[in-house]
Amino acid sequence: MTSHPFAKSIRSTPEGLLWEPCGRWVRGYKGAVAVVDSRRPVLVWEPGVPVPCYAFPREEVRTDLLRPAKNPRTGAHTGSQTFYDLEADGELVENAAWTFPAEDLAGHIAFEWFRHRYSGLDHWYEEEEEIFVHPRDPHKRVDALAGSRHVVVEIAGTVVADTRRPVLLFETSLPTRYYIPREDIRLDLFTPTDHHTGCPYKGTAEYWSWRGDEDVPRNILWSYPDPLAAVTPVKGLLAFYNEAVDITVDGEREERPVTPFTASLRT
């Protein structure tokens, strides 16, 4: 049995995979074609990958649209897989799907999600809600709570934000993010960029970069102008990467955390 800290229902395989049955009705489309229509999906966590993927019973996949991959990927997923090209809606997508070698997952097919480097299907739905970026992890929480802490943010010794009305966003396995009203931030010190990111828990974010000469990562400041319902309190507020700025909360300077974002901020 797995030692996963959140649920005894998660099983492990000799290959190092973790997997769990999921009761959600999941559908995936390429254009107008329903390639996946599953009421018995399983969530799969690969070693070293922080987010899960779905694998579906073969009988709930349009396998008539799959062909053995002409140029199968190597080292992309755990174990020795079989990769498939997808031909649907007049388009050929290479390596859109694969199978895991684990005996527990025999008879299941997994798909790349459309915002991965190697894209798969165009749209995914859990029940009637469209899901973006990657499947939501049922063992992950995201809570946005209004607060009254005194939060001060500095960059290279310059105070760029000072508020006593932050919204604190608590997300499993990540540091607390402090979302700050615009009027409490020196936005004149930042320039909006064309960078955007998507999050299945929060929505689509827009970004700003520091205008100073100091060595500060780009897109250090972000906001969700139209967040998903679960985090409505952060709408229009802005947050900084704790990994790259100095944040003082109620007079106590916080250490800069090391997270999965740390390396990407450096580059």
Question: 103-151, pLDDT tens digit by residue?
Answer: 999 999 999 875 454 568 889 999 999 988 889 999 999 999 999 999 9
Q: What does the pLDDT look like over 165-214, one tens digit per residue?
A: 999 999 998 999 999 999 999 999 999 999 999 899 999 999 999 998 88
Sign of the torsion formed by the C-alpha atoms of 103, 104, 108 and 111: negative
Position 81 pLDDT exceeds 80: no
Q: What does the pLDDT look like over 29-74, one tens digit per residue?
A: 999 999 999 999 999 999 988 889 999 999 999 999 999 999 988 8
| Structure confidence at residue 119 (pLDDT) | 64
Please name which of 108, 96, 117 lies closest in space to residue 60, comparing C-alpha atoms.
108
| Structure confidence at residue 2 (pLDDT) | 45
| Structure confidence at residue 48 (pLDDT) | 84
> How many whole angstroms separate alpha carbon 153 and alpha carbon 138?
32
Position 4 pLDDT exceeds 70: no
> How many whole angstroms separate alpha carbon 6 and alpha carbon 239?
28
| Structure confidence at residue 9 (pLDDT) | 82
Structure tokens at 21: 């049955």
Please name which of 189, 248, 198 lies closest in space to residue 228, comparing C-alpha atoms.
198
The structural domains of the chain, with segments of one domain joined by +, span: 11-131, 142-266
Please name which of 44, 113, 51 lies closest in space to residue 79, comparing C-alpha atoms.
44
| Structure confidence at residue 8 (pLDDT) | 57
> How many whole angstroms separate alpha carbon 133 and alpha carbon 123?
10
Sign of the torsion formed by the C-alpha atoms of 195, 198, 204 and 205: negative
Q: What does the pLDDT look like over 225-264, one tens digit per residue?
A: 999 999 999 999 999 999 999 999 999 999 999 988 888 8
Residues 255/246, Cβ–Cβ less than 8 Å = no
- Secondary structure (3-state) at 103: helix
What global pTM score does this model have? 0.82
Measured between its terminal Cα atoms, the distance across the chain in Å is 39
Residue 104's Cβ-count burial label (10 Å; 0-12, 13-18, 19+) is middle
Sign of the torsion formed by the C-alpha atoms of 237, 243, 244 and 247: positive
CATH topology match: 11-131 vs 142-266: yes
| Structure confidence at residue 213 (pLDDT) | 85
> How many whole angstroms separate alpha carbon 51 and alpha carbon 38?
20
> How many whole angstroms separate alpha carbon 229 and alpha carbon 86?
34
| Residue position matching structure tokens 């769990």 | 20
| Structure confidence at residue 80 (pLDDT) | 66
| Structure confidence at residue 77 (pLDDT) | 85
Structure tokens at 178: 């402090």
Which numeric CATH code is attached to 11-131?
A: 2.170.150.40
What's the angle, vertex CA 194, arms to CA 30 and CA 130, rounded to 5? 30
Q: In the CATH hierarchy, which top-level class contains the domain 142-266? A: mainly beta
